[in-house]
């Protein structure tokens, strides 16, 4: 029987399901409820007491930062752990979240181990006591509970003075590398960095629409697995960067040879934020125009 309650907030149902599945498998004493945006989360939090909030930043109607700021003004949620899970890992956003009272900050895409460690860190003794009372243990194979047992013997630590350091569990956005030599191309090229939980893929956008993007990358890089989480960073012009959440839908050799130099990766988008879809729509239009 669940003894603790967590609220998972993200506009992408795919991401909510990933978070809930990780919590269910690793922490059977935590019951999860989900909300598609901050406004819905606020409504649920006003009616039910939650022990942990796992929340995205960019969402329609009410952002994760706005929810955090509201939450810290409520006496019952003044000290409840809040983990911000977001594709925005730049220093300014991290500092803004710290000022708002965030407990921990986890970059997308995240691994189950990375998320579990953050939950263990912020829940501390409360989680350990609940697990002990239930007689249940953590799920293998990662055995994150043992790996982070030292975190359970002390109170949750505040964020470090240099908050950017706390985001090291996920790779930070990096500037795209130079276009791969002899990479297949057509028309005006757009560079993209595709971030995964353990690596970043430098690539060229081959095709894109409102539901997916196909990129070409050199084979000598670290490639993900099918259905792995991904964040696609695309230069949209005028110094702007689009960060689109998705998952790996397809991996395919560009040439019909085993020694092909390039691999095609298709990422299906999962964002449901109208603002992100509007930005994506403008980029797709410019991309199509450049191909003519």
- Give residue 243's pLDDT band: very low, low, confident or very high (50, 70, 90): confident
Q: Lowest mean pLDDT: which of 64-78, 217-231, 273-287?
A: 273-287
Tell me, what's the pLDDT at 165? Answer: 38
Tell me, what's the pLDDT at 163? Answer: 40
| Position 47 pLDDT exceeds 60 | yes
SS3 93: helix
For 201, other C-beta atoms within 10 Å of its C-beta total 22
Encoded tokens for 38: 């901050």
**DSSP state at residue 50:** -
How much of the chain exceeds pLDDT 70, in percent? 79
116 or 176: whose pLDDT is higher? 116
Tell me the average pLDDT across 162-166: 39
Which CATH number is correct for 191-291, 3.40.50.80, 2.40.10.220, 3.30.70.80, 3.60.110.10? 2.40.10.220
Q: For residue range 185-239, list pLDDT tens digits in order.
A: 444 568 889 999 889 999 999 999 999 999 999 999 999 999 999 999 887 666 6
Give CA 270 to chain center in angstroms. Answer: 11
Query: Which residues share a beta bridge with 205?
Result: 215
Q: For residue range 125-134, list pLDDT tens digits in order.
A: 999 888 888 8
Surface-to-core class of residue 222, CB atoms within 10 Å of its CB (0-12 exposed, 13-18 middle, 19+ buried): exposed
Contact 5, 50 (CB under 8 A): yes
Domain positions in the chain are: 4-167, 191-291
Residues 6+ away with beta carbon under 8 Å from 43: 35
Tell me, what's the pLDDT at 237? Answer: 64
Q: For residue range 83-139, list pLDDT tens digits in order.
A: 999 887 677 888 888 999 999 999 899 999 999 999 999 999 999 888 888 876 655
- Give residue 2's pLDDT band: very low, low, confident or very high (50, 70, 90): low
CA distances from 148 to 31, 78, 141, 153 (A): 21, 26, 14, 10
Give CA 239 to chain center in angstroms. Answer: 23
- Give residue 53's pLDDT band: very low, low, confident or very high (50, 70, 90): very high
| Position 182 pLDDT exceeds 60 | no
Query: Which residues share a beta bridge with 232?
Result: 194, 244
Tell me, what's the pLDDT at 188? Answer: 53
| Position 267 pLDDT exceeds 90 | yes
pTM, full prediction? 0.71
CATH of domain 4-167: 3.40.50.2300
Encoded tokens for 158: 């505040």
In whole numbers, what is the pLDDT of the chain averaged over residues?
A: 82
């Amino acid at each position: 029987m669940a003894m603790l309650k967590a609220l998972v907030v993200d506009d992408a149902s795919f991401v909510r399901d990933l978070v809930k599945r990780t919590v269910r498998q690793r922490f059977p004493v935590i019951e999860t409820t989900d909300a598609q945006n901050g406004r819905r989360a606020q409504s649920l939090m006003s009616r039910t007491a939650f022990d942990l909030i796992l929340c995205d930043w960019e969402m329609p109607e009410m952002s994760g930062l706005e929810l955090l700021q509201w939450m810290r003004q409520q006496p019952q949620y003044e000290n409840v752990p809040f983990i911000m899970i977001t594709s925005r890992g730049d220093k300014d956003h991290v500092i803004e979240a710290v000022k708002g009272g965030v407990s921990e900050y986890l970059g997308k895409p995240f691994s189950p181990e990375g998320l579990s460690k953050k939950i263990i860190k912020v829940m501390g003794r409360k989680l350990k006591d609940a697990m002990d009372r239930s007689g249940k243990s953590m799920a293998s194979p990662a055995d994150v509970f043992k790996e982070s047992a030292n975190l359970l013997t002390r109170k949750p630590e505040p964020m470090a003075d240099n908050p950017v350091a706390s985001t090291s569990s996920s790779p930070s956005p990096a500037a795209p590398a130079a276009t791969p030599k002899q990479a297949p191309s057509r028309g005006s090229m757009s560079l993209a960095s595709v971030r995964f939980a353990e690596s970043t893929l430098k690539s060229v956008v081959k095709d894109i629409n409102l539901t997916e993007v196909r990129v070409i990358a050199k084979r000598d890089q670290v490639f993900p697995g099918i259905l792995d989480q991904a964040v696609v960073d695309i230069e949209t012009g005028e110094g702007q960067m689009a960060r689109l959440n998705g998952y790996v839908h397809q991996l395919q050799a560009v040439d019909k040879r085993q020694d092909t130099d390039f691999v095609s990766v298709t990422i299906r988008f999962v964002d449901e934020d109208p603002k992100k879809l509007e930005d994506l729509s403008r980029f797709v239009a410019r991309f199509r125009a450049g191909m003519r």
